[in-house]
Amino acid sequence: RSLRVLDGLVFLFSAVDGVEPQSETNWRLADNYKVPRIGFVNKMDRQGSNFMAVCQQVKDMLGSNAVPIVMNIGDEADFKGIVDLVKNRAIVWHDETQGSTFDVIDIPEELKAEAAELRAQLIEEVASYDENLLEKFMEDEDSITEEEVHAALRAAVMDMSIIPMICGSAFKNKGVQLLLDAVVDYLPSPIDIPPVKGNLPNSEEEATRKSDDSESFSLLAFKVMNDPFVGSLTFCRVYSGVAETGSTLLNSTRGKRERLGRMLLMHANSREDITEARAGDIVAIAGLKDTYTGDTLCDQNKTIVLEKMDFPDPVIEVAVEPKTKADQEKMSEALQRLAKEDPSFRVSVDHESTQTIIKGMGELHLDIIVDRLKREFQVEANVGAPQVAYRETITKTIDTDYIHKKQSGGAGQFARVVIEFTPLDPGEGFVFDNKIVGGKIPKEYIPGVEKGLKSSKESGVLAGFPVIDFKAVLKDGAFHDVDSSVLAFEIAAKAAFREGISAAGPVLLEPMMSVEVVTPEGYMGDVIGDLNSRRGQVSESEKRANAQVIKAMVPLANMFGYVNNLRSMSQGRASYSMEFDHYQQVPQQVAEEVREKLSG
For the chain, list the domains and their CATH numbers.
Answer: 3-188 (3.40.50.300), 196-306 (2.40.30.10), 317-388 (3.30.70.870), 392-505 (3.30.230.10), 509-599 (3.30.70.240)
Residue 510 predicted with pLDDT over 80: yes
**% of the chain exceeding 70 in pLDDT:** 98
pLDDT of residue 36: 94
Q: State pTM to two decimals.
A: 0.66
> Among 12-16, 266-270, 303-307, 323-327, which stretch is predicted with the lowest mean pLDDT?
266-270
pLDDT of residue 230: 77
SS (H, E, C) 296-345: EEECCCCCCEECCCCCCCCCEEEEEEECCHHHHHHHHHHHHHHHHHCCCC
Q: For residue range 579-588, what is the model confidence (pLDDT) as tens digits? A: 888 999 999 9
Q: How many C-alpha atoms does 291 have within 13 Å on its Cβ side?
A: 29
Residue 409 predicted with pLDDT over 80: no
The residues, ordered by sequence, that sit 6+ positions from 329 with a Cβ below 8 Å of its Cβ are none
Q: For residue range 83-102, what is the model confidence (pLDDT) as tens digits? A: 999 998 999 998 888 878 88
Stronger pLDDT, 138 or 514, i.e. the higher one: 514
Q: For residue range 212-261, what is the model confidence (pLDDT) as tens digits? A: 999 999 999 998 888 777 778 899 999 999 999 999 999 999 999 999 98
Distance CA 562, CA 163 (A): 36
Q: Which helix (DSSP H) or strand (DSSP E) does residue 369 occupy?
A: helix 363-377
